[in-house]
């Protein structure tokens, strides 16, 4: 199938690469010239495990192309996937639709034959209807169907999740469109459940799922706080809970709060839609507030560890919002570090993948180090904020010899608590 994808970011690029790997002809369109220049020159623009290899293979085999031109990009497309951002509106916190509207307006004038327009972006309920009206107004001759095709991939596992999704949700109001989406995912036949629902249900499923997952994370974080006071162990508690098939074992790992480009904005957008529809969603509003407080609490733990030290040095390991990605958007680590910087602390940070992105957010207010050991040298406290596997393998003896004061605030429980205690560290994990 000839597919065009508008937006070549964390969703658009892995989707484009994945669809090309399934055998489709894919053109990825982005309005950022530098991104397209890099991709055309064979340089990948974001880090995802396994993406670069497939990107190279499919560009070489000429199934994957890149352009900034909407006209060139969609001239042959049977299916146009919209994967542009839907960030929170700065004031109302609803999903800001300016990129979606711009993409729909731009593509409308180039539709020359029956085309499916599918939204992979996370969009408020009713967006499919709005896009339909917008395109029909801009190009009354256009023949098209608008489909909701929400994306559930996890950053850091985008390639894995593209080929192994739990389910594919299709919100389509026409049989013709349903058939086309079936054809798109033909390679997954009988392996991946495909659920056909109304467009509005599909749009709701995405928000309902993300808000639920955010709530689950917040729940286990609060339970971790309880375990710390009650001398229980959150891992034992989570394991015991997770064995109940009604609960399930996933998303029961405590940490410094959820982040990333999805959960924070999607919970806010869901809360906004609830208010607009006069529906009370107290669990979601409590989750949003609790998660904001969580990051402040984590910063407070770090500050408490150094409050009696003159000009303390704080070492931070991890800046990405989670492991496996270089994405720092809404990263708890960035918010915690920013709080420390606002309070004038000296921060020395290291992240295996996300330093460049972190620098665009925090600038030169902190020192970026080339390794974990460089960051901890002469530090008074070490805070671990992202769950990179390599942090688990750190040599605690070496850290003990490098640090000035031996305090560890391990917000991801990466290090061995017993070993840290045996080396006379003041070690604080989460819920343990
Ligand atoms: P992103 O910011 O990484 O990428 C968006 C891209 O769209 C950018 O490269 C931007 O230049 C481009 N763009 C914007 N307007 C354009 C236009 N008119 N024409 C061409 N290109 C345009 O965003 P993302 O993280 O990929 O997220 C995209 C959508 O997918 C969002 O709605 C998000 O909520 C949703 N989503 C994201 C994830 C995730 O893990 N990141 C997961 C599921 C769903």
Quote the ligand 1 centre to 102 CA distance (angstroms).
13
**Cα angle value 145/148/154 (rounded, 5°):** 145
CA–CA separation, 67 and 118 (whole Å): 19
* Helix, strand, coil shares, percent, the chain, to 5: 45, 15, 40
DSSP H or E stretch at residue 4? strand 2-6
Quote the ligand 1 centre to 220 CA distance (angstroms).
29
Query: Dihedral angle at the C-alpha atoms of 13, 15, 17, 19, nearest 10 degrees?
Result: -150
Share of the chain above pLDDT 70, in %: 100
Task: Report ipTM for this prediction.
Answer: 0.99
**Residue 173: exposed, middle, or buried by beta-carbon count in 10 A (0-12, 13-18, 19+)?**
middle
Find the mean pLDDT for residues 205-220.
98
CA–CA separation, 344 and 359 (whole Å): 17
**Three-state SS at 350:** strand
CB 352 within 8 A of CB 388: yes
Residue 363 burial (CB count, 10 A): 9
Q: Which of 6, 13, 15, 30 to mutate to test the pocket of ligand 1 (most atoms within 8 A of CB)?
A: 30
Kindly report, residue by residue over 326-379, the tens digit of the pLDDT.
999 999 999 999 999 999 999 999 999 999 999 999 999 999 999 999 999 999
CA–CA separation, 73 and 182 (whole Å): 22
In ligand 1, the atom with minimum distance to the C-alpha of 154 is: 40
The tokens for 59 are 């560009």
Q: Report the Cα 43 to chain-centroid distance in Å.
A: 22
CB 281 within 8 A of CB 207: no
Kindly report, residue by residue over 87-118, the tens digit of the pLDDT.
999 999 999 999 999 999 999 999 999 999 99
CA–CA separation, 149 and 135 (whole Å): 18
Kindly report, residue by residue over 239-281, the tens digit of the pLDDT.
999 999 999 999 999 999 999 999 999 999 999 999 999 999 9
Quote the ligand 1 centre to 159 CA distance (angstroms).
16
pLDDT of residue 70: 98
**pLDDT, averaged across the chain:** 97
Number of H helices, E strands in the chain: 18, 14
Catalytic site residue from 28, 262, 369, 411: 262
Nearest to 354 by CA among 341, 369, 375: 369
Is it the case that residue 189 has pLDDT exceeding 90?
no
Q: Which of 104, 261, 269, 270 to mutate to test the pocket of ligand 1 (most atoms within 8 A of CB)?
A: 261
CB 104 within 8 A of CB 82: yes
Find the mean pLDDT for residues 26-47.
97
Say whether 411 is catalytic. no
pLDDT of residue 415: 98
Q: Is 46 in the pocket of ligand 1 (CB under 6 A)?
A: no
Sorting pLDDT into bands at 50, 70 and 90, what band is 393?
very high
In this prediction the pTM is: 0.95
Q: How far is CA 316 from CA 400, 415, 430, in A?
A: 15, 14, 16
Is it the case that residue 295 has pLDDT exceeding 90?
yes
**Residue 315: exposed, middle, or buried by beta-carbon count in 10 A (0-12, 13-18, 19+)?**
buried
**Three-state SS at 148:** strand
Kindly report, residue by residue over 138-148, the tens digit of the pLDDT.
999 999 999 99
Quote the ligand 1 centre to 198 CA distance (angstroms).
23
- The residue contributing the CA closest to ligand 1 atom 40 is 155
- The domains of the chain, with CATH numbers, are 2-197 (3.40.50.720), 288-428 (3.40.50.720)
Find the mean pLDDT for residues 76-82.
97
Sorting pLDDT into bands at 50, 70 and 90, what band is 190?
confident
**Three-state SS at 426:** strand
CB 155 within 8 A of CB 258: no
Is it the case that residue 389 has pLDDT exceeding 90?
yes
| Sign of the dihedral through C-alpha 243, 249, 253, 258 | negative
Residue in the structure block whose two tokens are 């009988």: 190
CB 260 within 8 A of CB 321: yes
Residue 370 burial (CB count, 10 A): 9
What values do phi and psi take at 26, rounded to 5?
A: -120, 135
In 109-194, alpha helices (H): 127-138, 158-163, 175-184
Sorting pLDDT into bands at 50, 70 and 90, what band is 13?
very high
Sorting pLDDT into bands at 50, 70 and 90, what band is 320?
very high
Sorting pLDDT into bands at 50, 70 and 90, what band is 209?
very high
pLDDT of residue 124: 98
């Amino acid at each position: 199938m000839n597919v065009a994808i508008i937006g070549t970011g964390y969703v658009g690029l892995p989707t484009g690469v994945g669809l090309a790997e399934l055998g489709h002809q894919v053109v990825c369109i982005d309005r950022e010239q530098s991104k397209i220049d890099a991709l055309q020159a064979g340089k990948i623009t974001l880090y995802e495990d396994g993406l670069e290899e497939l990107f190279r293979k499919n560009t070489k085999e000429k199934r994957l192309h890149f352009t900034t031109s909407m006209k060139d990009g969609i001239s042959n497309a049977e299916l146009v996937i919209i994967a542009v951002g839907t960030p929170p509106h700065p004031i109302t916190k609803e999903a800001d639709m300016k990129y979606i509207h711009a993409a729909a307006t731009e593509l409308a004038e180039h539709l020359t034959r029956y085309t499916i327009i599918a939204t992979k972006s996370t969009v408020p309920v009713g967006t499919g209807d709005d896009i339909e009206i917008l395109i029909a107004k801009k190009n009354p001759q256009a023949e098209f169907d608008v489909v909701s095709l929400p994306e559930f991939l996890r950053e850091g596992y985008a390639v894995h999740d593209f080929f192994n999704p739990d389910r594919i949700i299709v919100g389509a109001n026409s049989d013709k469109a349903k058939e086309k989406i079936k054809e798109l995912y033909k390679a997954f036949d009988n392996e991946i459940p495909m659920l056909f629902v109304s467009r509005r249900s599909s749009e709701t499923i995405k928000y309902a799922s993300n808000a639920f997952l955010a709530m689950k994370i917040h729940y286990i974080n609060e339970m971790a706080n309880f375990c710390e006071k009650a001398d229980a162990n959150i891992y034992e508690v989570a394991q015991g809970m997770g064995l109940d098939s009604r609960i399930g074992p996933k998303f029961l790992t405590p940490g410094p709060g959820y982040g990333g480009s999805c959960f924070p904005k999607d919970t806010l957008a869901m809360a906004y839609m609830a208010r607009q529809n006069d529906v009370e969603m107290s669990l979601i509003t409590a989750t949003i507030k609790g998660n904001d407080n969580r990051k402040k609490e984590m910063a407070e733990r770090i500050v408490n560890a150094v409050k009696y030290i003159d000009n303390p040095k704080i070492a931070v390991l991890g800046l990405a919002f989670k492991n496996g990605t270089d994405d720092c958007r809404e990263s708890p680590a960035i918010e915690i570090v920013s709080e420390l910087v606002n309070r004038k602390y000296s921060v020395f940070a290291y992240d295996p993948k996300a330093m460049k992105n972190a620098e665009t957010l925090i600038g030169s207010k902190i020192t970026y180090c080339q390794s974990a050991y460089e960051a901890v040298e002469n530090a008074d406290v070490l805070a671990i904020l992202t769950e990179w596997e390599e942090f688990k393998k750190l040599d605690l003896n070496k850290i003990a010899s490098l640090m000035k004061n031996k305090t560890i605030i391990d917000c991801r429980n990466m290090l061995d608590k017993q070993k840290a205690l045996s080396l006379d560290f003041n070690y604080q994990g989460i819920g343990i």
